[in-house]
Amino acid sequence: MVKELSKDNNAGIRPAARRKARRFALQALYEWAISGNSMFEIEARYRVENDMHKVDLEYFHELITEIEKRSDAIDDAFMPHLDRKFHELDHVERAILRIGTYELLHRLDVPYKVVINEGIELAKHFGATESHKYVNGLLDEVAKQHRRLERERSA
């Protein structure tokens, strides 16, 4: 299911609320990968234990549930661009790549440049020292394949 929202539907969504949704989604996906806990349980705990009144909760929910359901297809979209084996990816980088790739594939209402920039910012904040460069390169490759027309129009 591809979400394509009109500008009217996005009018009330603040970028900061989406950014916070991505940050919490990254942490939830990291926990899911490490612990194996159910995403339902993780989401419920995040909603109780964190101040989420300035978070786009609908987007947070969508990211974690859709990425959990589609993780194999999402991984398949970025794996051809890896310079290492999938299991060698840091869990933080993997979660960031899953969020960015999900958005590139299924959230056409989010410009590809925004997706890449958000991935870079997550990597700078949560990832290893140079991981933002790696995330940038991989998400750019995914965008070249899946957002070709959008990229050409913005060039």
pLDDT tens for 77-92 read: 999 999 999 999 999 9
| pLDDT above 90 coverage of the chain, percent | 83
Lowest mean pLDDT among 7-11, 40-44, 58-62, 67-71: 7-11
Count the domains in the chain. 1
pLDDT, position 6: 36
5 within a domain of the structure (yes/no)? no
Mean pLDDT of 22-28: 97
Comparing CA positions, the residue from 96, 99, 34, 36 lying closest to residue 62 is 99
**Which CATH number do you get for residue 23?**
1.10.940.10
Cα–Cα distance, 19 to 26 (Å, whole number): 11
Residue 38 domain-assigned (yes or no): yes
Q: The domain containing residue 36 runs over which residues?
A: 14-147
